[in-house]
Amino acid sequence: MSDNDRVWVKIHVPREMHRAMRKLAIDEGRPVTELYVEAFTAFADSTPPLEGVDAVNLDDYDFGEPEEDI
């Protein structure tokens, strides 16, 4: 995945969780971002869709003005 396919997302996680992710990243020789993406993907893949909720087509969704990259 190229940098052009990525966006900045700011989340707040417990300090100890982030320390554990950083340690795992060092142990596995991978970027910590890769581990977060892997965890988010696993969660999304394992979460069933909500009953009675129509799928949202994000191509038609107005996200407003993009935030400035830091």
What is the pLDDT of the chain when averaged over all its residues? 83
- Residue in the block written with tokens 């799928």: 55
- For residue 16, what pLDDT is reported? 97
So where are the chain's domains? 10-46
pLDDT interval class at 66 (50, 70, 90): low
Contact 21, 40 (CB under 8 A): no
Higher-confidence residue: 24 or 2?
A: 24
pLDDT interval class at 34 (50, 70, 90): very high
pTM of the model: 0.64
Cα(3)–Cα(69) distance, rounded to whole angstroms? 12
Spatial neighbors of 28 by CB under 8 A, at least 6 apart, are 35
